Amino acid sequence: MKSSDILGMNARNQIYERLNSSQAKSICTSKYATKIVLEDHDIPTAKIYAVFATTEDVHEFDWLKLTENFVIKPTNGHAGKGVVAFRLQKDDYWIDILGKHWSLEDIKLHCFDTLEGQYSTHGTNHNVIVEERVITHHKLRKYSYKGTPDVRVFVFNSVPVMAALRLPTAESEGRANISQGAISVGIDIASGVTTYGMAHKNQFIKYLPDSKRKLSGIQLPFWKQTLLTAVKTAQAVGIVYSGVDLFIDEEKGPMVAEINAYPGLSFQFCNRSGLKRRLQRVESLNVLNADHGVRIGRALFAEIFSDKIKADEGLQILNYQEKIKVKHDDRNDFKEADALFDTGRFRSAIALSLAEDLDLVDWDDLLWFQQEGGEGKRPVVEAVLKIKDRKIKTSLIVSKKLDQRKYKVVIGRKDLPGFLIGEK
């Protein structure tokens, strides 16, 4: 992983987070507002049993009807603070996922603390939500310590660009929160298969703690549906850059837990891939709908190129270096050349020696001169490119630097609509 490809906190806050509207961010910081938006768009999420705004609400609620599988959480919480998940009710007490017994008075006191803001992070609204507890899919249950694992999908410009599985541990007390000791595992976007495990944000691990279960090679169930749900969620909220957290229910499939306008950055390491590079590759794409965005993400960010072809489903994909053909607009014969596809630049460029060989450079009839980094003003000429089976008439900057390179043409994103470029 190149250090230049890594997204840091300053870049996240100053470049990408600013793309999110204040309205979208306000929805993300309120679990209740998020629920309303999700329900309005028919996006699966845990059912709400109650919302408490006052101590009277807590006292008046019929707690005895909650016999099993429910969760109490603050509406504006963060990092799992104040979240308690219960398995069942027995006699006059409830048992949480860690096996701790709670009396009705204990539960009410916890709600009162939440109402006073003890567990809230954002704003002044300290309401309490009581909701359905998701039943973890059996394929993931054996990798999780008592709590519910979740999947975080980073969505940018309606494209899923990175994903990770978060597994609760004994250290995290059953919470899928990395800062409290949960494990993060990278996920191959194309296939939904896990790749690399990491503990404490900086320690690579191959096996689940205190077991011989490998963290790589886990096939996530409902994978395409999970990516589609994440993208639809971002679109429903109207957020450009986000981390969507989803539970994978045994029967219902992916269910949205929450949306983060400031998703953590440590998941770059369990994916061994820089998020900055991935964001740059999709920021200028015209994404038609959620399905199109998922197809793009699965094609661009597969672990190996053969998987990109399988994930493509109709998109035309190029390696970042390939042979193309170039010719003068008024000639019939193409000449083959090594080309580099660079979505970081806008206009394509051609080596001076190749341009002269193709009679592209007529110093008395140039299109214009354009500034080229490290070379000053350089002439711009017309040419026809043949990439795969597509012919593109375009303008090329004539570069002396490329005379010294293996590739004699650099193709910028202006000439790449309809193509996807494989990672280096």
Q: Which structural domains are found in the chain, ordered by start?
A: 3-29+137-300 (3.30.470.20), 47-132 (3.30.1490), 321-421 (2.40.70.10)
Distance between CA 145 and CA 176 in Å, rounded?
A: 9
Q: Which residues contact 423 (CB under 8 A, 6 or more apart)?
A: 273, 300, 301, 320
Q: What are the backbone angles phi and psi of residue 70, rounded to the nearest 5°?
A: -140, 165
Distance between CA 9 and CA 64 in Å, rounded?
A: 45
Q: What is the pTM of this model?
A: 0.69
Distance between CA 169 and CA 172 in Å, rounded?
A: 5
Q: What is the CA radius of gyration of the chain?
A: 26
Q: Closest by alpha carbon to 117, among 85, 81, 86?
A: 81
Burial 67-78 (b: 16+ CB within 10 A, else e): eeebbbbbbbbb
Q: How many C-beta neighbours within 10 Å does residue 62 have?
A: 8
**Could you list the pLDDT tens digit for every one of the 424 residues in the chain?**
788 899 999 999 899 999 999 999 999 988 889 999 999 999 999 999 999 999 999 999 999 999 999 999 988 877 678 889 999 999 889 999 889 999 999 999 999 999 988 887 666 678 899 999 988 999 999 898 888 899 999 999 999 999 999 999 988 888 888 888 899 999 999 889 999 999 988 899 999 988 889 999 999 999 999 999 999 999 999 999 999 999 999 889 999 999 999 998 999 999 999 999 999 988 888 888 999 899 888 878 877 544 554 555 556 677 788 899 999 888 888 999 999 998 878 889 999 999 999 988 887 777 778 888 888 888 888 889 998 888 888 889 999 999 999 999 999 888 887 777 765 5
Q: Which amino acid is at 332?
A: N
- Helix, strand, or coil (residue 369): strand
Distance between CA 355 and CA 401 in Å, rounded?
A: 13
| Whether the Cβ atoms of residue 286 and residue 264 lie closer than 8 Å to each other | no
Q: What are the backbone angles phi and psi of residue 34, rounded to the nearest 5°?
A: -60, -45
Distance between CA 350 and CA 395 in Å, rounded?
A: 10
| Whether the Cβ atoms of residue 397 and residue 372 lie closer than 8 Å to each other | yes
Beta strands in 75-149 (DSSP E): 84-90, 93-96, 101-103, 128-132
Look at the alpha carbons of 128, 79, 197, 192 in this order and tell me if their dihedral is positive or negative.
positive
